[in-house]
Amino acid sequence: MKKYRLEVYGWMMDASAHSVGEKDVESVSDILLDNPENTWELYDYFTENIRDIHEPDLFRNEKPFWYDDDTKFFLFDGNTELNDNTSKPIKEWSLKECSNHYDINEDFDDYTNIVCVPGETPVDELSKKYAEPPYDYDIADNIVLHIDEGKGGLFYFEFESDDEIKPEDFSVTTGCIESPVGDWDFCDKFFYKGKELKIVDYLDNSGKASHAYIFTKDE
């Protein structure tokens, strides 16, 4: 069996969703009122008054954005070294050339749909357990969604095969974050000939943008 390394490049989301109490709603709303990208001031406010903005109590989702053309795959001989500038990829292709996993496995039902809607999104059980003071609610009435965007290397997989490697032998499942202002689609799971690939390690990328939104049950 030949060894291969599949490196994935593109745009990564790091989405964090927080519940916030009524006492913080006005302050956060004022910060984000005219500029959803005013995340430095938001970060400072969270650090001083709520929690680390990267340690949310609702969910955190670190996955590649679903961009057909801008999500790239580079296939290398598995015996080459990672970050070896002398090694050239055997093949390269984009996400749109991969198969939709739901077409390959019609019984696959592990779809990741993350609801980020006030009055519907539950508080993470571990967050409730260790919060001080304890939460007196199970569902968030006010939500802050914070999204960092990075571009560059994302992660890589390793696998073995004796067959000719074709882009259509790789399939991907979609996931979605639903919110009152729109949805964010992402690549959730990756497969080679129906077998799920596991991330070996992450690659380097650089931050490109941050934005945040506040959603309240009364709006």
Confidence of residue 12 (pLDDT cuts 50, 70, 90): very high
Domain count for the chain: 1
- What integer is the mean pLDDT of 115-124? 90
**CA 125, CA 111: separation in Å to the nearest integer?**
21
User: In the prediction, which pLDDT does 134 show?
Assistant: 67
Instruction: Please say if the pLDDT value at position 99 is more than 90.
Output: yes
Domain that holds residue 163: 2-81+88-216
**In the chain, which residue ranges form alpha helices assigned H by DSSP?**
22-32, 39-49, 101-104, 125-130
| Mean pLDDT lowest among 98-102, 123-127, 206-210, 215-219 | 123-127
Longest CA span, the chain: 61
Strongest mean pLDDT among 31-45, 133-147, 180-194: 180-194
Q: What is the DSSP string of 144-155?
A: EEEEEEEEEEEE
What's the start-to-end Cα distance of the chain, in Å?
A: 58
Instruction: Please say if the pLDDT value at position 181 is more than 70.
Output: yes
| Mean pLDDT lowest among 67-76, 111-120, 121-130 | 121-130
Higher model confidence: residue 20 or residue 108? 20
Q: What percent of the chain has pLDDT over 70?
A: 96
- What integer is the mean pLDDT of 90-119? 90
Confidence of residue 29 (pLDDT cuts 50, 70, 90): very high
User: In the prediction, which pLDDT does 132 show?
Assistant: 66
Instruction: Please say if the pLDDT value at position 107 is more than 70.
Output: yes
Mean model confidence pLDDT for the chain: 92
Q: What percent of the chain has pLDDT over 90?
A: 76
User: In the prediction, which pLDDT does 135 show?
Assistant: 72
Place of tokens 């992450």: 202
Q: Are strands 112-115 and 170-179 parallel, antiparallel or unpaired?
A: parallel
pTM of the model: 0.90
